[in-house]
């Protein structure tokens, strides 16, 4: 028994020393982290105070201010680059972008960016890509496109952000062909395409004619950047074998707008056995005041919920034509009647 | 075998258990630190601008169950209306309040009764009325009869929500202005994301204006200080490590962003669950894992919102009783997951760890203290050994807490008050002398309540911001 107690005591004493060492080390780490972070923040604040007005003058084209920034110590340049470039995330004014680009070039930030793009650390490559994108440095577009195939997911997505910010039409095919690349964040793919607006449509239509297996993705892409030009192809896709393709084709038609033929397809699709197709078809009829649309939608106010709400919203968008149908249903006590009353109230209060 | 050796063995075993717990937490904090570092590297300001660059960012419905929240509700709603994410609607669910919650909302925001059709996907108590603001079209108030639990009110909000994403918060939660734009990012990145939780900070002592935390500071009360470090440990160690392996088992009720269809698929919040947030998160894990459906549950390791910690003992006690009953109820209901390889890392690691270290901790700690103290008083246990056992557990506990403080600094990057550092370190030590024991005692009482099947929330004192 005594041996056991002594053994335990030895272990406890050893644990006590370990505990003391751990607690001391942790206290030290807490203090070091705090001091380091406070010093870092103070330095940033000092830099901002010192250079804010210089940066503002430099952005207005003041040569002396630009020279001051160029002569700033090398150790401050990265922080200054952040101060100069980061506001471009919110402010995409072309004049400001051009002025910032000029300052960045004068400060030799582009060679620094090149150096970072060749770094072995992904976060450096990502920072460089985002920076070059924000200042729209088109001379590096090809390197940024190449970064779409980087081994790091973060870098690939940063490259996509950069291409969305640069908006160089020559990089558009590289973005379009990667629209169905699942290794890139889906939100970023959509944002990149949205940045170019309808410029990407032509490439999409050409690719879609070849790659039928990717129709679903192309339909989703056309729902972002399609125009009336895509309508015939989308109408064709509403008869695709795959339910998701049919639904997405109607979603894209809602974006590009309907003509007589597309509207007729949407009205017919309201009787599809698939809820997702009926839902998207009802949404596609948003704002369509042509014959047959409103009455067909009114029949679906008590359909499955996703269809009913889309039908109601589309009826609301049809002004008088929709109002007549909604009023005719508004006395019903079912879900369709409640939807009709809600839409009529919204038309009245928030037209 | 005599009484002395049994008591000594038991005391040593409890100390070994505590050392094992703290050591595992220190190891886990390494994973958490890596996660934090990666998060801060990844989440650049350009990242947060992503939603604004989309043609149609996902609509988020912010659901706020409110029961007798007249003290804070107007400020809360005003703060919600100022969120930096445009595509959002706010759904306040007045859960049978007996105070002025509803009249205050009606008069302040010019709410009028409206017809509203919605998908009645989750059964709830009867709704008495639906109101929409004339001034703010995106502000909706649901007035319903109380079913006596927050789950029912949350489910009513989910029913009415028209967003593809639903953020469920508490009525006294103060969101950070960029919490939504940060929260939607995981959904924009990966279509398989079904839920996102976040780090909830304690606002006691901080300067609050218009429902926003403006300046983070330590409170005057030691009770609140101890809770601050407790929250740091809770959110930034085990949960972060779980998040790195897609094994999050609890998304706090103060901030939970969910895909609406996923919520409906699992039947929404369980109205009979005491710890409804943990219950829902584990059901989401079990649902998708059992069906081999790819899914992700993410955790934001930065303060996304702030909540008030109770500063009086009765409120804290009631909260801890409830948390304890909730934990045990969930572990009991989901016991088929524990050790079941079908549920992957959640079944094989996250839940067993929770059961071993959270389920058993209060019982072992209290019995350990009692046994060792009685034995020392009776002369069975040497006083030197008694203090040695105590010192080891205190030192390891304090080390873990200090590690959590480091993680908090790295997470929030908000440490403006130098005085607070000393207070935090002091709290890491002070909590070991009274607060932790009290908590463990309440844990034991909560266990007895759970066995007896007690429900309800208990008294909670409300305070203005």
**pLDDT tens, residue by residue, B339-384:** 999 999 999 999 999 999 999 999 999 999 898 898 889 888 888 8
Instruction: Give the closest-approach CA distance of B396 to chain A in angstroms.
Output: 5
Interchain proximity B50–A33, CB inside 8 Å: no
Q: What is the mean pLDDT of residues A140-156?
A: 94
Chain centre distance of CA B293? 26
Q: pLDDT-based confidence at A182, cuts 50/70/90?
A: confident
Interchain proximity A19–B44, CB inside 8 Å: no
Partner residue opposite A342 with nearest CB, options B51, B114, B188: B114
Interchain proximity A89–B114, CB inside 8 Å: no
| Mean pLDDT computed over every residue of chain A | 92
Q: Is A124 on the interface with B (CB under 8 A)?
A: no
Instruction: Give the closest-approach CA distance of A107 to chain B in angstroms.
Output: 22
Q: Which of A4, A19, A153, A175 to mutate to test the interface with B (most CBs of B within 10 A)?
A: A19
**Which of helix, strand or coil describes residue B92?**
strand
Write out chain A residues lying below 8 Å of B119, CB-based.
305, 309
Residue range B18-58, pLDDT digits in tens: 889 988 988 998 999 998 898 888 888 888 888 888 878 99
Partner residue opposite B49 with nearest CB, options A89, A123, A342: A89
Q: What is the mean pLDDT of residues A23-31?
A: 91
Q: What is the chain B residue with the closest CA to A124?
A: B41
**Which of helix, strand or coil describes residue B162?**
coil
Instruction: Give the closest-approach CA distance of B444 to chain A in angstroms.
Output: 27
**Which of B313-322, B376-385, B444-453 has the lowest average pLDDT?**
B376-385
Write out chain B residues lying below 8 Å of A194, CB-based.
53-55
Residues 190-229 of A with CB under 8 A from B: 190-191, 194-195, 224
**Given this model, what pLDDT does residue B459 score?**
57
**Given this model, what pLDDT does residue B458 score?**
59
Interchain proximity B403–A4, CB inside 8 Å: no
Predicted confidence (pLDDT) at residue B134 exceeds the cutoff of 70: yes
Residue range B141-194, pLDDT digits in tens: 999 999 989 999 999 999 999 999 999 999 989 999 889 999 999 999 999 999
Q: Is A83 on the interface with B (CB under 8 A)?
A: no
**Which of helix, strand or coil describes residue B63?**
strand
Contact B225, B427 (CB under 8 A): yes
Q: What is the mean pLDDT of residues A137-165?
A: 94
Write out chain B residues lying below 8 Å of A164, CB-based.
53
Q: B140: part of which helix (H) or strand (E)? A: strand B139-144
**Given this model, what pLDDT does residue A295 score?**
94
A-B Cβ pairs (cutoff 8 Å, strict): 134
- The number of beta carbons lying within 10 Å of the beta carbon of residue A6 is 10
Instruction: Give the closest-approach CA distance of B17 to chain A in angstroms.
Output: 13
Q: Which residues, in sequence order, are bridge partners of residue B198?
A: B300
Partner residue opposite A5 with nearest CB, options B8, B132, B413: B8
Residue range B393-440, pLDDT digits in tens: 889 889 999 999 888 888 876 655 677 888 888 898 899 888 999 999
Residue range A337-350, pLDDT digits in tens: 999 999 999 998 87
Q: What is the chain A residue with the closest CA to B26?
A: A22
Instruction: Give the closest-approach CA distance of A198 to chain B in angstroms.
Output: 12
**Given this model, what pLDDT does residue B463 score?**
63
Partner residue opposite B395 with nearest CB, options A20, A185, A305: A20
Write out chain A residues lying below 8 Å of B51, CB-based.
187
Residue B55 CA to residue B73 CA, distance in Å, equals 33
Cβ neighbours of residue B458 closer than 8 Å, sequence gap 6 or more: B317, B318, B319, B321, B322
Predicted confidence (pLDDT) at residue A106 exceeds the cutoff of 80: yes
Q: pLDDT-based confidence at B457, cuts 50/70/90?
A: low
Q: Which residues, in sequence order, are bridge partners of residue B175?
A: B305
Cβ neighbours of residue B35 closer than 8 Å, sequence gap 6 or more: B240, B241, B243, B244, B301
Q: Which residues, in sequence order, are bridge partners of residue B298?
A: B196
**3-class SS string, A42-64:** HHHHHHHHHHHHHHHHHHCCCHH
Structure tokens at A229: 């030009």
Q: Is A31 on the interface with B (CB under 8 A)?
A: yes
* B403-406, Cβ contacts within 8 angstroms, sequence gap of 24 or more: B403/A26, B403/A29, B403/B25, B403/B26, B403/B29, B403/B237, B404/B29, B404/B229, B404/B232, B404/B233, B404/B236, B404/B237, B405/A30, B405/B229, B405/B232, B406/A26, B406/A29, B406/A30, B406/A33, B406/B33
Partner residue opposite A345 with nearest CB, options B12, B44, B114: B114
Instruction: Give the closest-approach CA distance of B31 to chain A in angstroms.
Output: 17
Global ipTM:
0.86
Q: Is A304 on the interface with B (CB under 8 A)?
A: no
Interchain proximity B395–A12, CB inside 8 Å: no
Interchain proximity A33–B406, CB inside 8 Å: yes
**DSSP character for A118?**
T
Cβ neighbours of residue B191 closer than 8 Å, sequence gap 6 or more: A186
Q: Which residues, in sequence order, are bridge partners of residue B303?
A: B199
Contact A335, A301 (CB under 8 A): yes
Interchain proximity A89–B402, CB inside 8 Å: no
Residue range B211-228, pLDDT digits in tens: 788 888 889 999 999 999
| pLDDT above 90 as % of chain B | 62
Write out chain B residues lying below 8 Å of A86, CB-based.
45
**Of residues B106, B103, B155, B100, the one with CA closest to residue B126:** B155
Q: What is the mean pLDDT of residues A34-42?
A: 88
Q: What is the mean pLDDT of residues A173-180?
A: 86
**Given this model, what pLDDT does residue B157 score?**
97
Q: Is A44 on the interface with B (CB under 8 A)?
A: no
Residue B285 CA to residue B194 CA, distance in Å, equals 10
Q: What is the mean pLDDT of residues B325-332?
A: 95
Predicted structure pTM score: 0.90
Say how many CA atoms lie within 13 Å of A172 toward its Cβ. Answer: 19
Which range, A196-200, B375-379, B443-447, is most confident? B443-447
Helix, strand, coil in percent for chain B, rounding step 5: 55, 15, 30
**Which of helix, strand or coil describes residue B202?**
strand
Q: A146: part of which helix (H) or strand (E)? A: helix A141-146
**Given this model, what pLDDT does residue A178 score?**
87
**Of residues B189, B169, B167, the one with CA closest to residue B180:** B167
* Count of H-run helices and E-run strands, chain B: 19, 12
Structure tokens at A34: 């705090």
Partner residue opposite A30 with nearest CB, options B385, B395, B425: B425
């Amino acid at each position: 028994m005594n041996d056991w107690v002594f053994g335990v005591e030895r272990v406890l004493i050893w644990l006590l020393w370990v505990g003391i060492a751990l607690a001391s080390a942790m206290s030290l780490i807490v203090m070091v982290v705090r001091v380091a972070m406070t010093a870092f923040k103070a330095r940033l604040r000092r830099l901002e105070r010192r250079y804010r007005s210089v940066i503002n003058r430099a952005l207005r084209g003041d040569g002396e201010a630009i020279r001051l920034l160029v002569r700033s110590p090398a150790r401050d340049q990265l922080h200054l680059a952040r101060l100069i470039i980061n506001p471009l995330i919110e402010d995409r004014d072309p004049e400001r972008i051009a002025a910032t680009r000029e300052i960045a070039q004068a400060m030799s930030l582009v060679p620094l960016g090149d150096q970072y793009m060749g770094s072995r650390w992904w976060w450096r490559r990502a920072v460089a890509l985002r920076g070059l994108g924000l200042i729209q440095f088109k001379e590096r577009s090809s390197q940024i496109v190449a970064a779409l195939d980087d081994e790091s997911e973060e870098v690939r997505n940063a490259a996509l952000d950069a291409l969305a910010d640069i908006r160089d039409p020559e990089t558009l095919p590289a973005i379009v062909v990667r629209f169905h690349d699942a290794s890139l964040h889906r939100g970023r793919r959509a944002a990149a395409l949205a940045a170019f607006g309808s410029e990407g449509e032509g490439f999409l239509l050409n690719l879609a004619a070849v790659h039928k297996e990717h129709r679903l993705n192309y339909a989703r892409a056309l729902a972002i950047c399609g125009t009336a030009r895509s309508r015939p192809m989308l109408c064709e896709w509403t008869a695709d074998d795959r339910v998701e393709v049919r639904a997405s084709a109607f979603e894209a038609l809602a974006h590009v707008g309907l003509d007589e033929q597309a509207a007729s397809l949407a009205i017919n699709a309201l009787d599809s056995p698939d809820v997702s197709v009926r839902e998207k078809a009802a949404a596609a009829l948003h704002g369509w005041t042509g014959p047959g649309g409103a009455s067909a939608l009114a029949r679906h106010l008590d359909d499955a919920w996703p269809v009913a709400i889309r039908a109601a919203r589309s009826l609301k968008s049809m002004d008088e034509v929709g109002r007549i149908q909604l009023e005719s249903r508004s006395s019903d006590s079912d879900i369709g009647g409640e939807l009709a009353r809600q839409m009529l109230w919204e038309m009245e209060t928030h037209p | 075998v005599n009484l002395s050796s049994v008591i000594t063995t038991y005391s040593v075993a409890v100390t070994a258990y505590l050392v094992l717990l703290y050591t595992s937490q220190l190891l886990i904090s390494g994973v958490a630190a890596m996660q934090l570092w990666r998060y801060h590297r990844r989440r650049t300001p350009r990242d947060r601008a992503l939603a604004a660059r989309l043609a149609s960012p996902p609509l988020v419905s912010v659901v706020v169950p409110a029961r007798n929240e007249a003290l804070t509700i107007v400020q809360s709603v005003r703060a919600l209306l100022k969120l930096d994410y445009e595509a959002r609607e706010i759904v306040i669910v007045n859960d049978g309040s007996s105070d002025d919650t509803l009249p205050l909302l009606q008069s302040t925001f010019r709410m009028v009764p409206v017809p509203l059709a919605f998908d009645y996907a989750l059964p709830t108590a009867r709704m008495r009325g639906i109101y929409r603001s004339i001034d703010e079209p995106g502000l909706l108030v649901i007035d319903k009869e109380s079913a006596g639990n927050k789950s029912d009110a949350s489910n009513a909000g989910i029913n009415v929500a028209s967003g593809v994403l639903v953020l469920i918060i508490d009525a006294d939660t103060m969101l950070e202005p960029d919490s939504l734009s940060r929260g939607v990012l995981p959904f924009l990145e990966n279509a398989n994301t079904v839920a996102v939780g976040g780090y909830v900070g304690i606002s006691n002592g901080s300067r609050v204006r218009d429902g926003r935390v403006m300046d983070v500071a330590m409170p005057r009360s030691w009770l609140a200080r101890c809770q601050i470090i407790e929250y740091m440990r809770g959110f930034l160690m085990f949960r972060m490590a779980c998040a790195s392996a897609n094994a999050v088992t609890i998304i706090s009720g103060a901030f939970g962003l969910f895909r609406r269809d996923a919520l409906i698929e699992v039947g929404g919040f369980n109205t009979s669950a005491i710890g409804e947030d943990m219950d829902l998160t584990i059901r989401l894990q079990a649902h998708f894992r059992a069906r081999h459906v790819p899914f992700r549950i993410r955790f934001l390791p930065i303060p996304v919102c702030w909540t008030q910690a109770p500063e009086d003992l009765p409120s804290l006690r009631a909260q801890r009783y409830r948390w304890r009953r909730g934990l045990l109820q969930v572990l009991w209901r989901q016991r088929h997951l524990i050790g079941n390889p079908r549920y992957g890392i959640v079944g094989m690691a996250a839940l067993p760890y929770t059961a071993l270290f959270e389920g058993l901790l209060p019982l072992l700690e209290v019995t350990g203290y009692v046994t060792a103290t009685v034995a020392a008083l009776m002369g069975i246990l040497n006083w030197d050994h008694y203090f040695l056992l105590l010192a080891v557990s205190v030192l390891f506990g304090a080390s873990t807490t200090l590690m959590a403080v480091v993680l908090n600094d790295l997470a929030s990057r908000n440490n403006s008050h130098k005085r607070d550092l000393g207070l935090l370190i002091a709290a890491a030590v002070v909590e070991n002398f009274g607060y932790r024991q009290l908590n463990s005692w309440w844990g034991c009482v909560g266990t007895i309540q759970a066995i007896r099947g007690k429900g309800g929330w208990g008294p909670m004192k409300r305070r203005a911001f």
